Each structure stands twice: as structure tokens, then as C-alpha cells.
């Protein structure tokens, strides 16, 4: 992580508010390049979001995005990142929760869909690409990938170049199509040996 130049003098109003309102729920906070980040406990994300939305001095009424970052070597493996924005006051803040360990392949985070309807697709996307479930989400289906896709591509252990295909068998040997499977247009390869064309 970068060097965190904490400046307690000019603390971000959203950070100050959450620290004041939920003193035991904030794990850490920082402000780098004017971007405030708050890390809160996963179970308290919905109350924090709700408080940030309804607090008259902040009014974080717009959810810009929800995404996640995979840190496979770290113990809470995933960061789920929320970017909030306030249209009336112009404040913005980044919320994070850290979830996931070796026992739970699909860690759970409470869904923010009741706070902002915009969370619907963002959370579906995080489920699709990271395999993080959002409890309370009414429609936790994949959004970008087909419904029968296996795996969650944006995890760091997901291979980039796809799957290992069987080695092609040269020399006229093409695997026969399974019964019922349509024939491919590929012809069997013929091996032309020099001695077959010349005496």
C-alpha cells in the first residue's frame, strides 16, 4: 500500500460522520489524493450506506459503482468496493468491505439494493465475475456470462488464456464426434510422406 499521509485536521466529512456514528464498525479509513476510503465490517455495510444516504449534511444519493478486487494472498480475500456520490453536496466517498477466506468459496455480503436500486446490476456483476454473493438480492443471477458458465473470471486464479484443450492429434487421427454431436467441417489430416510420392 502507498504511504498514507493522514491529515486529521481536514478529515473528510463522510469519514468523520461514519466514525462518529458507527465507532465500532469502522476498521480503517484513509484519505489519499482527496479520495476518502472507509473500510467497514461486512455486516454493517447496509446500515452505513443507509446512514450516509439519509444524513442531511451528506446525502449520498447516488451509487456510482460496486466492484471487487481479489487479493488471493491476503486473508480476507476480497475487497468489495462501493463508490458513492452526493449530487446535492458534491461529496464522494469510497466504502470497502473485506470478505472471504479459504472455507467459503462464495463469501456473502448484505445487498445494498434496498438503499439504491442501482445496486441490482452492479451486485449481479460482482457475483458473475468474482463469485461474491449478496444476501437479500432478489435476482442473484449471472449478468455478463452465460448462466451455465463455470468459474468467476476476474478472480486471480482464473486462467487468462482460457482452458487447456486436448492436444491435437496429428497423422489422420481426428477424434470422432460423439454420438449426437454435429460433425465439424474439419477434414481428417492426411500425412504425405516423401516416400509415398517418390519411388
Partner 1 sequence: MTMSMGGPRSLDVDESEQLDERTRRDAMTINMGPQHPSTHGVLRLILTLDGETILKAEPEVGYLHTGIEKTAESKSYFKALVVTDRMDYLAPLANNLGYSLAVERLLDIEVPEKAIFARVALAELQRIASHLVWLASSALDLGAQSVFLYCFREREIILDIFELCSGVRMMTSYIMPGGLQADLPPGFDTQVRAFLKLFPDRLREYHGLLTNNQLWIDRTRGVSVLSAEDAVAFGCTGGTLRGSGIAYDVRKVYPYSGYERFDFDVPVGTNGDVYDRYLVRMLEMDQSLRIIQQALDGMPEGRWAVDDPKVVAPPKYEISSNMESLIHHFKLYTEGYRVPAGETYLRTESPKGELGFYLVSDGGPHPYRMHVRAPSFANLQALPKMIEGSQLADVVAAIGSIDIVLGEVDR
CB of 169 to partner 1, least distance (A): 29
CB of 114 to partner 1, least distance (A): 11
Residues within window 128-187 making contact with partner 1, judged by CB under 8 A: 129, 142-146, 153-154, 158, 160
CB of 144 to partner 1, least distance (A): 4
Q: Rank residues 28 and 35 by Cβ distance to partner 1 and give the closer one.
A: 35
CB of 165 to partner 1, least distance (A): 18
Which member of 16, 27, 32, 191 binds partner 1 (CB under 8 A)? 32
78 closest CA partner among 168, 152, 159, 14: 152
Is there binding between residue 65 and partner 1 (CB under 8 A)?
A: yes
The footprint of partner 1 (CB under 8 A) covers 1-2, 32-33, 35, 37, 61-65, 67, 69-70, 81, 83, 87, 90, 92, 94, 116-118, 120-121, 125, 129, 142-146, 153-154, 158, 160
Amino acid at each position: 500500500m502507498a504511504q498514507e499521509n493522514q491529515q486529521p485536521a481536514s478529515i473528510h466529512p463522510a469519514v468523520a460522520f461514519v466514525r462518529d456514528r458507527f465507532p465500532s464498525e469502522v476498521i480503517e479509513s484513509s484519505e489519499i489524493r482527496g479520495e476518502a476510503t472507509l473500510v467497514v465490517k461486512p455486516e454493517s455495510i447496509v446500515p452505513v450506506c443507509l446512514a450516509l444516504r439519509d444524513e442531511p449534511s451528506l446525502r449520498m444519493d447516488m451509487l456510482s459503482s460496486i466492484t471487487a478486487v481479489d487479493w488471493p494472498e491476503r486473508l480476507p480475500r476480497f475487497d468489495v468496493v462501493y463508490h458513492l456520490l452526493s449530487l446535492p453536496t458534491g461529496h464522494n466517498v469510497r466504502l470497502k468491505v473485506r470478505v472471504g477466506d479459504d472455507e467459503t468459496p462464495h463469501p456473502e455480503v448484505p445487498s445494498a439494493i434496498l438503499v439504491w436500486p442501482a445496486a441490482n446490476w452492479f451486485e449481479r456483476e460482482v457475483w458473475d465475475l468474482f463469485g461474491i454473493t449478496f444476501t437479500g438480492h432478489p435476482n442473484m443471477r449471472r449478468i455478463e456470462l452465460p448462466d451455465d458458465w463455470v468459474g468467476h473470471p476476474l478472480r486471480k486464479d482464473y486462467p487468462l488464456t482460457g482452458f487447456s484443450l486436448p492436444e491435437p492429434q496429428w497423422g489422420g487421427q481426428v477424434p470422432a464426434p460423439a454420438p449426437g454431436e454435429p460433425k465439424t467441417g474439419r477434414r481428417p489430416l492426411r500425412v504425405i510422406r516423401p516416400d509415398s510420392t517418390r519411388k
